[in-house]
Amino acid sequence: MKRRILALVLCWIMVMSMVMACSGPSEKDVTTDVTKNATTGEEQKKTKEVPASVTEPITIEIWHPRGAGQNGDMIAASVEEFNRTNKFGITVVEVFQGGYPVTLTKTMQAISAGTQPALVVLERAAGVPVMAEQDVLLDMTPYIERDNFDMDNFLQVLLGYSYYNDEIISLPYIRSTPVFYYNKSLFEKAGYTEPPKTFTELEEIGKKLVADGLCEYGFELLNDPAWFVQNLMYQLGSNMLSEDGLSAPCLEDGALLSVLTSWRKWVDDGWCAPFVSTSAESAMKEQFYQGNLASFVASSGGLANIINNSVDFELGVSYFPTLSDITSAPTGGGNIAIVERGNDEQTLAAAWEFVKFLMSDEQVALNAANTGYLPITYSSATSQVLIDQWKEQPLYKVAYDQLEVAQELPWSGYKADFEELLKEYCSYVIQDQSQTPEEAVEQIKLNSYAIFPLK
């Protein structure tokens, strides 16, 4: 009898552990919050009600990927300034969560568990669409209208991922564009005083530099196909994704094949370095600082660091070279978004105040000046901070000027998958050199049937 009781007790303990464990996120709770918000939203749309202001001191969190160093210092300074000066009593807490993918995943995980932050910094093309399509981001339009926030002040090319279904769900924040960095001293030694505008010119320079023994490689292109390969295909009149985001025109019109063939030829000819497996970007920049690599393309966000480390030679920065007569450059970086799901009205209102603050001229200028990110608004470009910086170090202005020829990738739910595919095969063609561009394009075509919807 005792034995049976004890056995039952033990079983009960084990079962209870399972039951307790099995209670996942209370879907009912979260749904109620959403219904509440949804109702409010609907009400607003129906009656055009002005969203409430912050009425009491409140603490909110912003999750971001801005790591230690100047990047993290900048957001810490912004937060401190806001906490000190805002008249609502809002306290913002900034929390580093990891790189872009980790920050995105943790935010999604938190939303479904009910522990979400108020604000999040997402990679514009890889993060914002994923969140927007799950209907968890706040439509900032009511707040924008209430406060007469000027959307035209933004550099329009940076707004590609701000709109979704006529809602404004994210704003540009830490944006960058890839520029052409080169070792001016080496170039001059080979007899070139001007940076190349086209890849033909670059090829000539690169070959001469290597032939003269001035460096090991004249140029390197990293495996970031959604940026670099996409830009090159754009210059050829095609694109990585179609306007409606449902297919990949570059597969049919030969643009991808052309780009891969050119890239592979540059590597085979010996003047373009193939990228490596580990920390490719750091490894590439190191070769540059050493004088082994004469030029490369990379984000403008790293400019400050590159300037610091280019000590033995004169650094030059210019536009991304072109394969045709169309000069273009992609943009990248992160946008800021407000999480609607699970957050109450006061939290959303407070979050909006912080967003507004970050978009002020002073903040935008400081953000750009201290890190190398782009000034995202027209008005900020007239601020003294930036004018001084551009006068003192003209290299910083190049990225901003290049925005005139910037292009943005069409929104697509298939971008991530297709990019993966491109990355894999670029690796086989350029790094591993085990496939020819033709073979790779064939494989990519085959695999893309599993990605894009059938016509």
Partner 1 sequence: MKNKGVGKKKSKRNMNLLTPYVMVTPAMCFLIIFTLYPMINLIYLSFFTFKLARPDLKTWVGLLNYKFLLFVKEDFVIALKNTAVYTVAVVFFLILFAVLFAMWLEKDTKLNSFAQRAIFTPHLVAMISCGMIWSWIMDEKGLFNAVLSFFQLPGLRWLNSSATAMISIVIVSVWKSLGYYTLIVISALKSIPTEIFEAAELDNTNGFRKFFKITIPMLSPQLFFLLIVITINSFKVFDTVRTMTGGGPGNSTNVISYYIYHYVFNNNQMGIATSAGVVLMGILMIMTIFYFKAVGKKVYYQ
Partner 2 sequence: MAMNLIKTKKRIMRAIPAFLNSIIKLAVVLFILFPFYWMIITSFKPYAETILMPPTFWPKTFTLSAYTSIFNEMNLGIYLKNSIIITLAIIALQIPIMVPAAYAFAKYKFPGHKLMFGIVLVAFMIPGQVTFIPVYFLMARLGILNTLLPQILPFGANAFGIFLLRQNFMQIPDEIIEAARLDNASELKIMFRLMLPMSKATMITLAMFSFISHWNSYFWPLVMTQSEKVRPLTIAIEKLKDVELGISWNILMAGNVLLVFPIIIIFMFASKKIVRAFAYKGMK
| Three-state DSSP state, 179 | strand
26 near partner 2, rule: CB under 8 A:
yes
Contacts of 276 (CB under 8 A, 6+ apart): 283, 284, 431
Contact predicate 220/350, CB 8 Å? no
Q: Report the half-sphere exposure of 233 (CA within 13 A, side-chain side).
A: 27
Using the rule CB under 8 A, which residue among 38, 44, 53, 96 binds partner 2? 96
* Main-chain phi, psi angles of 414, to 5 degrees: -105, 5
Q: Going by C-beta distance under 8 Å and a sequence separation of 6 or more, which residues neighbour residue 128? A: 122, 137, 161, 164, 169, 170, 335, 337
Concatenated DSSP letters of 114-129: T---SEEEEETTTTHH
* x/- map, 265-304, partner 2, by CB under 8 A: --------------x-xx--xx--xx-x------x-xx-x
Q: Is 38 in the site for partner 1 (CB under 8 A)?
A: no
Stretch that binds partner 1, among 67-75, 107-115, 189-197, 225-233 (CB under 8 A): 107-115
Note whether 448 binds partner 1 by CB under 8 A: no
Q: Pick one of 70, 109, 156, 324: the residue that binds partner 1 (CB under 8 A).
A: 109
Q: Which does 290 bind (CB under 5 to 8 A by kind): partner 2, partner 1, none?
A: partner 2
Listed in sequence order, the residues at least 6 apart from 158 whose beta carbon sits closer than 8 Å to its beta carbon are 172, 175, 331, 374, 376, 403, 406, 408
Q: Which amino acid is at 201?
A: E
Q: Tokens representing 325?
A: 């007569």
Q: Which of 201, 204, 424, 442 binds partner 1 (CB under 8 A)?
A: 424
Q: Which does 167 bind (CB under 5 to 8 A by kind): partner 2, partner 1, none?
A: none
Q: Determine the 3-state secondary structure of 18 from DSSP.
A: helix
Site string for partner 2, 342-381 (x = CB under 8 A): -----------------------------xxx--------
Structure tokens at 364: 């935008």
Please select the residue that binds partner 1; options are 62, 74, 104, 226, rule is CB under 8 A.
104
115 binds, among partner 2, partner 1, none (CB under 5 to 8 A by kind): partner 2
- Residue closer to partner 2, measured from CB, 119 or 257: 119
Q: Phi first, then psi: what are they for 284, rounded to 5°?
A: -65, -45
State the first-to-last Cα distance of the chain, in angstroms, to the nearest integer. Answer: 70
Q: How far is the CB of 340 from partner 1 (least distance, A)?
A: 11
Q: Which residues contact 366 (CB under 8 A, 6 or more apart)?
A: 74, 77, 78, 385
Residue 174 φ then ψ, to 5°: -110, 85
Structure tokens at 446: 């085959």
Supply the minimum distance, in Å, between the C-beta of residue 21 and partner 2. 6
14 binds partner 1 (CB under 8 A): yes
The amino acid sitting at 67 is: G
Q: How far apart are CA 354 and CA 119, in angstroms?
A: 9
Residues within the interface to partner 2 (CB under 8 A): 21, 23-26, 63, 65-72, 95-100, 102, 105-106, 109-110, 112-115, 117, 176, 279, 281-282, 285-286, 289-290, 292, 299, 301-302, 304-305, 309, 311, 371-373
Residues within the interface to partner 1 (CB under 8 A): 2-3, 6-7, 10, 13-14, 17-18, 20-22, 24-25, 27, 30-31, 101-102, 104-105, 107-109, 111-112, 130-131, 133-136, 274, 276-279, 283, 341, 416-417, 420, 424-425, 427-428, 431-432, 434, 447, 450
